[in-house]
Amino acid sequence: MDYVIKMNRVHKNFGTKKVIDNVSIEVKPGELIGFLGPSGSGKTTTIKLLTGQLKQDRGEAFILGRESRTLNHKSYKQIGIVSDNSGLYENLNAYDNLLLFSRILNTDKREIPKLLERVGLKEDMKKSVKKFSRGMKQRLILARALLHNPKVLFLDEPTSGLDPSTTKEIHQLMLEMKEAGTTFFLTTHDMAEASKLCDRIILFNEGKIIESGTLEELKLKHTQEKSVRILLSSGENIELALTSENSSKIAMLIANNQIMSIHSLEPTLENIFLKLTGRGLQ
């Protein structure tokens, strides 16, 4: 299969409001795609269209070779979804939450303790979920999405509002799964998260794709003037455009052992998004 996810000129309206406007996407097996845009831009709607929770008005959407509007029980055994409203049974403990879904998905319940250990919840498996912190609940939702070892995993703002330590743990788990062949579709408004994790980034705004590519491709495309920031041995920071005149100046600073560090200046994803849309990612 050449792609795991494909959208071809997809449109979706809610009443008279255009929510998804002529969107085309292809995601290859094993890719970790970042779908980056502000809240309300249509990211969650895109996931719902791809996973058959909503039906598009026009265009085609495929996942694992099947049209998303025709997904069945067998299809969902290969798909995992993690979102902020995934829902947990708060009066049950962590183990029993996963046991319930294990029975629904017909998976081996002996894997549950291993899975809870993998997301750092093994010591809390008998604790009532209503006593969990938000970060613990998010990790349990992630564990539930992994019960059936999905081929493709949709993550809708998976680390929003979480502490840095929990976020780091979830990122590490994602990278381990990617190494094992899982395909990811990550929606986020966190540019640092996208920069760290994603093979390819899609910038999304008001239902439209406004730019896409690897992080390096986006930075190179939107670098208006090549320049560097230099920390001098005196402690002074200077910024210089890479002109022939400044190249000679930099060579002289190096020859005189006056440079402590030198870094190229490139636009951030936030800068690029702001340039293209006139708005920030939050």
pLDDT tens, position by position, 83-105: 766 678 999 999 999 999 999 88
Residue 167, token pair as written in the block: 């976020």
The per-residue pLDDT for range 15-24, each reduced to its tens digit, is 999 999 999 9
The pLDDT of residue 168 is 86
Please say if the pLDDT value at position 160 is more than 80: no
Please state the rounded mean pLDDT for residues 137-147.
88
The pLDDT of residue 259 is 84
Top pLDDT among 270 and 99 is at 99
CA dist 269 and 81 (Å) reads 26
The pLDDT of residue 203 is 93
The per-residue pLDDT for range 61-72, each reduced to its tens digit, is 999 999 999 998
Residue 101, token pair as written in the block: 């879904």
Residue 27, token pair as written in the block: 């995601």
The pLDDT of residue 164 is 85
Contacts of 258 (CB under 8 A, 6+ apart): 232, 233, 234
Question: Over pLDDT 90: what percentage of the chain?
Answer: 46
Return the amino acid letter for 149.
N
Could you tell me the domains of the chain? Answer: 5-220 (3.40.50.300), 224-265 (no CATH)
| pTM to 2 decimal places | 0.81
Top pLDDT among 93 and 259 is at 93
User: Phi then psi for 183, rounded to 5 degrees?
Assistant: -95, 135
